[in-house]
Structure 1
Amino acid sequence: MKAIWNDTVIAESNDTVVVENNHYFPAESLKREYFEDSIAHTSCPWKGRASYYSLRVNGELNKDASWFYPEPKEAANHIRGRVAFWKGVRVES
């Protein structure tokens, strides 16, 4: 699977986990040069507190376009160390 934004592959892995129609990529599959820490957080009742990354590709910013659960609840432990995408990021094989 590939995560693509602004015509650039930002993550690539054959080992994604699908939860609620989102592919969670292993953190080591991210092309880190495109990721910036964000101060954003949200909460999910069964997964826990999410943290976000913004993407910067070819000078363009996609704020809070990926998320992860640093300390997921037990029911979501299978996505620990994984990152998912939205806000126009295409995930395709």
Structure 2
Amino acid sequence: MKAIWNDTVLAESNDTVVVENNHYFPAESINKELFEDSIAHTSCPWKGRASYYSVRVNGELNKDAAWYYPEPKEAAQQIKGRVAFWKGVKVVE
């Protein structure tokens, strides 16, 4: 699987975990120089508190385009250490 935005591969892995129709990529599969920490957080009743990354490609910023759960709840342990995408990021095979 590949996560692509602005014609650039943000992450690539054959080992994604699908939860609620989102592919969670291993953290080590992301192109780290394209990611910036965000102050945004959201909460999910069964997954826990999500943190976000913004993505910058060719000078363009996609704010809070990726999220992860640093300390997921017990029911969501399969996504620990993984990153998912939205906001126009295409996830393709």
TM range (shorter): over 0.9
Q: Which runs of 5+ in 1 are unaligned?
A: none
* Percent of aligned positions that are identical: 85
Alignment partner of 2:76: what SS? Answer: helix
TM-score (norm 1): 1.00
Q: Does 1:11 find its partner at 2:6? A: no
The separation in 2 between residues aligned to 1:80 and 1:9, in whole angstroms, is 22
The separation in 2 between residues aligned to 1:10 and 1:79, in whole angstroms, is 18
* Matching residue's letter, 2:14: N
Per-residue CA deviation, residues 2-37 of structure 1 (Å, 9 max, x unaligned), is 000000001000000000000000000000010000
Q: Specify the alignment match of 1:74 in structure 2.
A: 74
Runs of 4+ that moved beyond 6 A: none
The separation in 2 between residues aligned to 1:62 and 1:69, in whole angstroms, is 19
TM-score (norm 2): 1.00
Q: Specify the alignment match of 1:47 in structure 2.
A: 47
Shift in Å, 1:68: 0.2
The separation in 2 between residues aligned to 1:53 and 1:67, in whole angstroms, is 6
